[in-house]
Amino acid sequence: MTTDKKASNNWRAATRSVRGGTARSGFCETSEAIFMNSGYVYETAAEAEASFDGSGPERFVYSRFANPTVGMFEERLALIEGAQYCRATASGMSAVWNALAASTKAGGRVVGSRALFGSCEFILTTLLPRFGVETELVDGTDKDAWEKALSKPADAVFLETPSNPTLEVIDIAFISELAHKAGAKVIVDNVFATPILQKPMELGADIVVYSATKHIDGQGRCLGGAILFNDKEWHDEHLTTFLRHTGPSMSPFNAWVLLKGLETLSLRVDQHIRNATALAEFLTEQPQVSRVLYPGLKSHPQHELAMKQMSGRGGGLIAIELAGGKKAAFSLLDNLKLIDISNNLGDAKSLATHPWTTTHQRVPAEDKVVMGITEGMLRLSVGLEDIDDLKEDLLAALAV
C-alpha cells in the first residue's frame, strides 16, 4: 500500500474529501479497493510473533483491530473533521456507546442534554446506571442548569446539537468550558450538523461522534459510525481496549460505501441546505402550519447561536407543527406523493416522520412534552430533489 500523508495535510477541504486517506495497492487502482478480508498472513512464524509482541513494523493482523478499507475511511473523515484520530464503528449507536463507555466507569458520573436521539437517551437513562454510572439530563439550552449539574465532578458530558427532532441548538463552547472545569470530556453527537457545518472540537469539545448512516452515506445504503478525537492517551489507554475486545468493527464493504459518500458530502450538504432553507420559508407561509423550527430562520429560538456555531447555515432538517394536531400530521404524511414516510434522515430522498409515534414512541408523554415534542409535530429531512416538486407535494398534501 502506498499513501502520501504529507500531501494530504496541506490539501484544502474539497481535495481532502476526494483524496484524503487513499492508499493504493500494488494494482494501482484509481478508486479505493475493498479489502473484504478478516485475516492477514505472515511470511514466517517469527513475523507473526513480532506482530503480536509489538516489536515488528506496524501491520494488519486482524480486521477487528484494523482493515485497509476501513482505515482509508477513518483517515479521510479525520482529515475532513480536522481530528488527529478517527475510529470507525458498525453503527452510530456503537460509536456513541463506545465513546461513553471508554470515558466513564462504575462510580462515575455523566451529564447529558435532555433532547437526544432515542437510543442515546436510553443509554444515558437506563444502560449506564445499570453499570453503576450516575447520570443526569439537563435542558440543553438552560445555562443555569448546566452550571448546576457541572458544579460537581463528572467524567463526561454528552450532547447533541442541533437536537432531534426539535432542532434545539446548544452552546458547545460554553458547555465545554464548564465541563473541563468539572473534569469531564465533552462528547458531541454531530449528526445533524455534519462536519461540513460544525466542527465541535474547534469549539472546545473533546470527542465527536457520527452516525455515518445519515449524511455521510446519504443514500440509504448502509449503517456506520465514527468516533473522532485528539487525545492519544485516551485512545491508547481506553478506547482501543474497548474496541478491540468488544468488536463493534465496521464492515470493509460499508467503509468503502461511506468512503465514496465522503467524496460528495459537502456538495450534497450544500444542496440539502439550499432546499431546506427554501422549504422552511415556504412552510412559514402556510396557514395549516402553526410553527416552523429551522435554525436558519430568524424565528428559531437559538438562531444567533446557530449561525455562529454552524458556519452561518441552518442544516437540512426542519420540524413543523400542524395546527390540527396528530390528525393533521397523519393526513399530511398519508397524502404526500413524493416525500416518503421514513424515520431515516440525511438521505438524497426527502423523508418525513411523526416523532411522537415513531422515533420517540417509547419516551413517556410527559417527557416528550418537556423535550418540546408535540402530537402535531413532523420532522422533515429535506433531500436533493427539485425544490418546486417538494413545494408542490407539500402544498397538495396540506390542502387535503
Ligand X SMILES: *Cc1c(COP(=O)(O)O)cnc(C)c1O
Beta-bridge mates of residue 377: 321
Binding flag, residue 228, ligand X (CB under 6 A): no
Q: Which of residues 266-285 bind ligand X (CB under 6 A)?
A: none
Distance of closest approach, residue 61 Cβ to ligand X, in angstroms: 27
Which one among 149, 191, 310, 322 touches ligand X, defined by CB under 6 A?
Answer: 191
Binding flag, residue 165, ligand X (CB under 6 A): no
User: DSSP per residue over 107-170, as a string?
Assistant: T-EEEEESS--HHHHHIIIIIHHHTT-EEEEE-TT-HHHHHHHTTS--SEEEEESS-TTT----
User: Chain centroid to CA 91: how far?
Assistant: 10
User: DSSP per residue over 358-372, as a string?
Assistant: TTTTTS-HHHHHHHT
Question: Which residues touch 10 (CB under 8 Å, ≥6 apart)?
Answer: none
Separation CA 61–CA 142 (nearest Å): 48
Which listed range, 151-159, 211-219, 264-272, 284-292, lies at the site for ligand X (CB under 6 A)? Answer: 211-219
Q: How many CB atoms lie within 10 A of CB 297?
A: 17
Distance of closest approach, residue 208 Cβ to ligand X, in angstroms: 12
Binding flag, residue 89, ligand X (CB under 6 A): no
Binding flag, residue 261, ligand X (CB under 6 A): no
Binding mask 282-321 for ligand X (x = CB under 6 A): ----------------------------------------
Taking Cα atoms as reference points, which of 306, 329, 301, 296 lies closest to residue 397?
329
Which one among 8, 176, 211, 350 touches ligand X, defined by CB under 6 A?
Answer: 211
Q: Which of residues 314-353 bind ligand X (CB under 6 A)?
A: none
Separation CA 72–CA 70 (nearest Å): 5
Angle at Cα 127 formed by Cα 124 and Cα 128, nearest 5°? 60
Residue 160 or 171 having the CB closest to ligand X: 160
Work out whether strand 340-341 and strand 351-353 pair parallel, antiparallel, or are unpaired.
Answer: parallel
Distance of closest approach, residue 164 Cβ to ligand X, in angstroms: 5
Distance of closest approach, residue 45 Cβ to ligand X, in angstroms: 40
Number of residues that bind ligand X (CB under 6 A): 15
Backbone angles phi, psi at 79, to 5 degrees: -65, -40
Separation CA 187–CA 99 (nearest Å): 8
Distance of closest approach, residue 68 Cβ to ligand X, in angstroms: 23
Q: Which of residues 61-80 bind ligand X (CB under 6 A)?
A: none
Distance of closest approach, residue 95 Cβ to ligand X, in angstroms: 8
Binding flag, residue 354, ligand X (CB under 6 A): no
Binding flag, residue 117, ligand X (CB under 6 A): yes
Q: Which residues bind ligand X (CB under 6 A)?
A: 91-93, 96, 117, 120, 160, 164, 189, 191, 211, 213-214, 223, 225
